[in-house]
Structure 1
Amino acid sequence: MASKDNLAAALKYAAKNKPVFPCKIDKTPCTVNGFKDATTIKDKIFAWWKENPAASIGMPTGSVSGVWVLDIDLPDGVESLSKLEEKHGKLPETLVQQTGGGGVQFFFQWPENGTEIRNSAGKVGKDIDTRGSGGYVIVPPSTHPTGNDYQWLTHRPPAPAPDWLLSLVKSPPQKTSKTKNNDLYGNTPYGQKALAEEILALSMSSEGTRNDQLNRSAFNLGQLVAGGQLIMASAEGALRGAGFGIGLGEKEAEKTISSGLQSGMRSPRGPQDDADDFSCYNSNGQNGFNGQNGFNSSQRTATDSQRTTDGQLTDSQRTTDGQDQNPRENNLKGAVKAWILMDKRSFKIQDAYNDLNIKNPQQKKNVSDYLSRFCSEGLIERVNGQRGVFSYKDSSCPSINFLDEDEDMESMLKLPLGLDDLGIQVMPGNIIVVAGESNAGKTSVLLNIVMDNLKSLSPDGKYERMKYFSSEMGDKEMKIRLKAFGKPLKSWLPMGAYERTGNFHQVIDPDGLNIIDFMEVHDQFYLVGEWIRRIHETLNNGICVIALQKKAGSDFGRSGEISLEKPRLYLSISEVIKGYSSCKIVKAKNYTAERNPNGLEKDFRITRRGADLQELTDWRYVQYAERKKLNAQYELMVKQESAEMAERSIPGEETAYEFYVDGDTKRVTIRQVQKWRESFAGLDVDEVLKELAYDSFEKPFLTKNWFFQVSGILGKKHKNLQGG
């Protein structure tokens, strides 16, 4: 379904008084406050989807929309529902949708009798969830992460739920929480902190442990959901996004999340008894460093089951010499080390305090001691002249084999706009950045790279297959863009096209050609440098071409010069006037020609929906005066083209015949030909004009008075025809 259909559908829902808000492909909200931002205001909805045309449609459940949802998941939800219907009776006819993941969701009217329905997982039956107060669902025609679309199976109004179902899904009266300052979602500070720590624990989990960590994190957060510290939607959305981000399959992640949350909710948990200092405790009851460093609930100091009735540790929790272990401090040391190894960068000690939520003075001293110990062990080193500043000590130096390389090795990539003619080469493992303003031609440049390098599209192509990651193009838009190149769509199949917005290092082909269109960051622009660095570390013999958004007047993407470090070729594309663009070589490290290409510019315009990059100038250095002159020429060209289009749009002013006159092409209109037909009745005017038009190109004979020449010839032939 095209992106524009999502906007149209969102507006239709709003017209029916159903508030909506935009969501990402992984079902997490695009807006700051999530479903709290849902609205029926058309202007706001239009602005959201104009900024993110591919956004899915989220609809909050509960009293705000007047519906709640019974979610039947795979694989066992259908069987669980059948057993419930055998026991209690069939569900009434109501509004039903099929999710992109293959499940089914029943929409029911929100109860008017005060019955409270909140989000739950497995409460009604295995693989049966509910979405009520504090929740939301994705609705058609949105696209699921699998690529399948959400679809309405029925088109009837939501029906009231039967009493037996309401009795199963209704929530008990919620206890008033003593915790203040809940966020806009209804999460407490305690819950917010625990959620952040579990998600960071997931992001740090190593291959082979990720599903286990997801299960542990879901269990821990499920306890907090049942304890009133988190709402289900926040926990599910965060776990889902983190699970997909670390590479877990959608079906596997969903099943683990549902199971973990369901199990955790059987053991509600809240803040520690010392409510005055609860904010520094995490979801495992430890002081400020759980999850963020890869350890989890299995590494707690001691669970309730491991203590005697008087609260003392059991023998199994003591060391062999009879002394109590202090796993909390052991874990803090491991946490600090894992935090250092996560980024392997320079840092301030305050960064460690902030990221690990260290507030206790004694633990701050311990962290300082650990850093000193890591310095003596060679893990990190102090940065000279800066107190409390450290740097990861990386002694790895891969050797460069320059003896076996072919001196005349060809570039690994054919480049558009005549960049090859400048001797610019792309080597294995290289990154190329194409930074461009909106509508300046980034996607056109990227698709032309695909066109020139994919074997199925070009006889000179070097790549059998490649990967194209898009953050905003839907199926229909991609199809239209590709058809403009004039090649059968099947010939594009070796270009695997995928929707992706981040963590590209996890999905690129280390030895193939990868295109990222585009690296989407809206505020935390420092992440761009980190993402590019991770891609660089992942690449082996492959190539990665990355598109970035940039502001008008800047040579760099919105991340600034931080995006300039790793790329070996950096192109900046600006729209100099509407419809005309300029490509500047900001950085070119590998080139064989004597002329240094850095700083050169070439102007071009995009035609045939991006399939053709029409080059307007050579590569040259452009000063302000020349740029002003070129832009004036382009503006004149635009005016002339607009005038011609306007003239051709007037009935009768369409071109009938063209004549070659003094090196230029002149035309006569249908209206002019009609006048000649009336003046020279009986003469086959069109036959004469066709012959004159052909002769004017074959044997030029017309002068600046060409129109009168043509009219005179017609007059003579008419006179001869009349016998005069």
Structure 2
Amino acid sequence: MADEIYSKVSSKLEAEWYPYHENEWFTHTDICGHFQWFDPKIRSAVSRKLYHDYKEISEPKLEKNNKAYRIVDKTLDEIEWENADIDDVYKLKMPYDPTTNVGFPFESLICIPPGALIIIAGASNAGKTTWLLNMLVRNMDDFEDVVYFTSELSAVNLKRRLNPFEEWYELRNGDGKPKFKVFDRESNYHDAIYPKYSNGLVFIDYLDVNNEAEYFKMKPYLKRIKRSMRRGVAVVALQKNPGVDDAFGGKNLRSDADLYIAMDFGQIKIIKAKDWHTENPNLKKYKFDIEFNGSTFTNIQGIYEE
């Protein structure tokens, strides 16, 4: 009987769990919770399957770290670099002060390639949404598809945040329809992105997990978002504590980012700019104010350490 249960559990995991949880860590509890397996015999079979796949076979299917597992992936995607166009990069516009035409100087220093991931890691209420919305309106004419995923803003909230932009930007096409789409979503963003918006400019406000115990999931979530982009760019807001550079989930979240900005109240710091020309923007700091109903960056200035 135990072998029969194990066989069914093994087949179930191979067909309905492993293919959908590549590039992420998961636990025994995650599996049993997903399939609603409460019977001790079934839960024991899950443990046996996990142990077998990371310990008992010559080429393990799983890696184990404490109580978490991940699927071993030995696939290699060769990069055909010889015929690449070194000028095939985006000159993305960053927020600026439309009242003075003064922006963040690092904008002209960075190179953003197709398929890039930009992370804005900010303290609560430091201005992450303001940053994303400013990037949206400044770049909405440069991409065929511009989409904004939000888990917080209602239609009224969004309109109040966007109204001040009407003074400086044309938010609608000639047919009167907005130049961008906004969707209410709080998880599995990669499912919504690929393939429809893979070549577009995608904003996610913001990516989070249920509790601290799930912070280990943040990196695979970001990786899946980045892999869902083809020639598009994803801009993702993350939460962090005030006064620190790293978002909830740790320093390893920087690794997949092409641009990583840490935001605190009235200040940003360029933590990582992977590709740049002329002057190195990494570790540069800038201060600012936010005005006009929380929509606009003003008084933008560099911070120079003595």
Q: CA deviation at 1:363?
A: 4.2
Alignment partner of 1:546 is 2:236: yes
After superposition, the Cα gap between the structure-2 partners of 1:379 and 1:420, relative to the gap in structure 1 and judged at 3 Å, is same
Superposition pairs of residues 380-419 of structure 1, within 5 angstroms: 380=61, 392-411=71-90, 413-416=92-95, 417-419=104-106
Rg larger for: 1
Task: Say if 2:11 is the partner of 1:334.
Answer: yes
Distance in 1 separating the partners of 2:156 and 2:69: 51
Give secondary structure in 2 for the equivalent of 1:401.
coil
**1:619 deviation in Å?**
5.8
Partner in structure 2 of residue 499 of structure 1: 184
- SS of corresponding position for 2:293: helix
Aligned letter for 1:418?
Answer: P
Residue type at the aligned position of 2:107 = D
1:431 equivalenced with 2:117 (yes/no): yes
Q: Unmatched 5+ residue regions in structure 2?
A: 96-103
Match of 2:198 among 494, 507, 510: 510
Q: How has the CA–CA distance of structure 1 residues 354 and 619 changed in structure 2, closer, same or farther, with 3 Å as cutoff?
A: closer
User: Deviations along 1:13-60, whole A, 9 cap, x unmatched?
Assistant: xxxxxxxxxxxxxxxxxxxxxxxxxxxxxxxxxxxxxxxxxxxxxxxx
Q: Does 2:184 align with 1:468? A: no
Instruction: Map residues 609-620 of structure 1 onto 2, 5 A cutoff.
Output: 609-618=293-302, 620=304
Contact 1:468–1:497 at 8 Å: present in 2 too?
A: yes
Q: By how many angstroms is 1:519 displaced?
A: 2.0
Partner amino acid, structure 2, of 1:585: I
Matches within 5 A, 1:658-677: none
State how far apart, in whole Å, the 1-side matches of 2:76 and 2:247 are: 30
Distance 1:454 1:483 in 2: 16
Q: CA deviation at 1:409?
A: 3.0
Q: From the superposition, tell whether residues 606 and 396 of structure 1 become closer, same or farther in structure 2 (CA, over 3 Å).
A: same
For residues 549 and 475 of structure 1, what CA distance do their matches in structure 2 show?
22
Q: Deviations over 1:697-724 (max 9, x none)?
A: xxxxxxxxxxxxxxxxxxxxxxxxxxxx
* Aligned residue-pair number: 281
Query: TM-score with structure 2 length normalisation?
Result: 0.77
2:107 maps to 420
Once the two structures are TM-superposed, the CA of residue 521 in structure 1 deviates from its matched residue by: 3.6
Q: Which protein is richer in strand relative to its size?
A: 2
Q: 1:452 to 1:353 in 2, by over 3 A?
A: closer
Write the distance in 2 (CA, Å) between the matches of 1:563 and 1:619. 25
Partner of 1:367: 49
Change (3 A) 1:401 1:444: same
Counterpart in the other structure of 1:519: 207
* 2-structure distance, mates of 1:337, 1:433: 33
1:210-609 equivalences in 2 (<5 Å): 327-338=4-15, 339-344=17-22, 351-352=27-28, 355-356=31-32, 359-360=40-41, 363=45, 367=49, 370-371=52-53, 375-376=57-58, 378=59, 380=61, 392-411=71-90, 413-416=92-95, 417-421=104-108, 423-455=109-141, 462-485=142-165, 486=167, 487-491=169-173, 493-508=178-193, 509-523=197-211, 524-575=214-265, 581-593=266-278, 595-609=279-293
Matches of 2:164 and 2:234, distance apart in 1: 24
Spell out, residue by residue over 1:473-509, the C-alpha distance to the aligned partner (whole angstroms, 9 max, x if none).
2222222222211135534702101111111111121
Distance 1:370 1:441, change over 3 A: closer
**Distance in structure 1 (CA, Å) of the matches to 2:110 and 2:56:** 44
Change over 3 Å in CA distance of 1:381–1:572 after alignment to 2: closer
Contact 1:432 1:545 in 2 (8 A): yes
Gaps of 5+ in 1: 1-285, 288-325, 456-461, 576-580, 627-724
**CA offset at residue 345 of structure 1?**
5.8
Give the residue type in structure 2 aligned to 1:328: I
Q: Distance in 2 between matches of 1:551 and 1:387?
A: 26
User: Residues 536 and 440 from structure 1, CA distance in 2 versus in 1: closer, same or farther, beyond 3 angstroms?
Assistant: same
Equivalent position of 2:99 in the other structure: none
Offset of residue 603 of structure 1: 0.6
- Per chain length, whose mean CA-contact separation is higher, i.e. which structure has more relative contact order (CA < 8 Å, sep 6+)? 2
TM-score (norm 1): 0.35
